[in-house]
Amino acid sequence: MTRLKHPQDIKRAYYPVIGSYVFQRIPRAILKEHDKQAKKNHDQTLAELESRGGLDPIEILAIVEDRKWKDIDLQEADRQLAELVAAYHFE
């Protein structure tokens, strides 16, 4: 595992999550290949969304599943996001 040496490394390695009961940030790599879907859903890039504070779990799930946003329970979104993050860490 790579050690993060500076606070800037954390910013580069993680993407901010807003409105979650569980997460403040997730590994940036989870969203890496989905900028096109972010642009479709929000008419903004992931970088632009990050500059506005990040994404909530419901938005993140829609983007990584390459689908339109649909409202789901926030606790359920947090649960699904936790599964996604766990799967990422155990790849």
In a domain, 2, yes or no: no
Average pLDDT in the 20-25 region? 96
**CA–CA distance from 75 to each of 1, 52, 53, 62 (Å)?**
30, 23, 20, 15
Please give the average per-residue pLDDT across 28-53, as a whole number. Answer: 96
Number of domains comprising the chain? 1
Residue 69 falls inside a structural domain? yes
Task: Tell me whether residue 50 is in a domain.
Answer: yes
Contact 60, 26 (CB under 8 A): yes
pLDDT of residue 90: 84
* Amino acid 24: pLDDT: 96
Q: Which domain holds residue 56?
A: 7-89
- Domain assignment present for residue 31? The answer is yes
Q: What is the pLDDT of residues 45-60, one digit of tens each?
A: 999 999 999 999 999 9
